[in-house]
Amino acid sequence: MPDMPNPVAAFIVGEIRRARGAAGMTQEAFGRSAGFSASHVSAVEGGTRALTLDFARGADRALSTGGLFERLAMKLGTPSWFLPWLDAERGATQLRYFEPNLIPGLLQVEHYARAVLRTVDSLTDDEVEQRVKARLDRQAILTGARPPQFVAVLDEAALRRTGDGLGGIMAQQVAHLIAMAELPHVHVHVIPLGGGLHVGLSGPFALARFGEGVWVAHLENQLGGDVVDKDDEVATLQARWESVRNEALPRRQSIELLKEVESHHGPQ
């Protein structure tokens, strides 16, 4: 999805709405052809749900535009697969993160974030520093005047990762997790190593809820990530969230485990 300001997204949505009207299609009929519910179409057209690349592609299918709206979405801005999720994070009242291998970006300290980003050997030093700054800037949503309720479920294996020069970084990172977990709106839960196999090992995902009760999700992969907003797919991820959350220790027991892991890594 392009990194484009809201007015540009609003322009594309307006053009989709006008094309739908010119074709004589109701929101329900359009939704059937595009693969979305009428309520979803109404929310996008009304500006209460973000425009996604998937929706633009659906509009092209429904209106037989030959890929026009997808091209508009891809051309009117700098390509950035992460932007729709950043918008979701900023507007969410609740955030749910599951990570089996890494600490979620919203909870990463600077040195840990830098170490993670440096594993991508195609990034220059300047690009790494730019991404570190952007990642830290995102974290302001957790310390603002009206932060969302934030719940993270982590696998203990992610907390115990070691390597050359990583011990001190991990000690600092785990200490930060403990401090954040003491905040009333932040909940950190750990799935212990002895937990065995569970559905979350298939990969990380996140969920965001808006004030009007709408949920969207985010899936990461080696090439980027995807915002998921189709009701049935979001429902599947919500069910998987409940599964991984049930595998994790309660809040206080998780904090005690974090403190034990911190001592395992030694001084910061």
Tokens of 109: 């300290």
Q: Which of 2-6, 9-13, 212-216 has the lowest mean pLDDT?
A: 2-6
Write out pLDDT tens, residues 123-147.
889 888 988 998 898 899 998 889 9
d(CA 62, CA 49): 19
- Give 217: exposed, middle or buried? Use CB within 10 Å, 0-12, 13-18, 19+: buried
* Distance in angstroms (rounded) separating the CA atoms of residues 140 and 123: 25
**Is the per-residue pLDDT at 165 higher than 60?**
yes
Residue range 147-162: mean pLDDT, rounded? 93
pLDDT value at residue 208: 93
Confidence of residue 201 (pLDDT cuts 50, 70, 90): confident
Question: CB atoms < 10 A from the CB of 18, how many?
Answer: 10
Q: Is the pTM of this model over 0.85?
A: no
Is the confidence at residue 5, as pLDDT, over 50? no
Locate 254 and state its tokens. Answer: 């998780």
- Residues near 231 by Cβ (< 8 Å), separated by ≥ 6? 37, 40
Task: Compute the CA torsion angle 115, 116, 120, 125 (nearest 10 deg).
Answer: -40
For 183, the 3-state DSSP assignment is coil
Beta bridge partners of 188: 152
Of the listed ranges 18-22, 168-172, 223-227, the one predicted with least confidence:
223-227
Neighbouring-strand partners of residue 78: 3
Please give the Cα distance from 225 to 119 (Å, whole number). 18
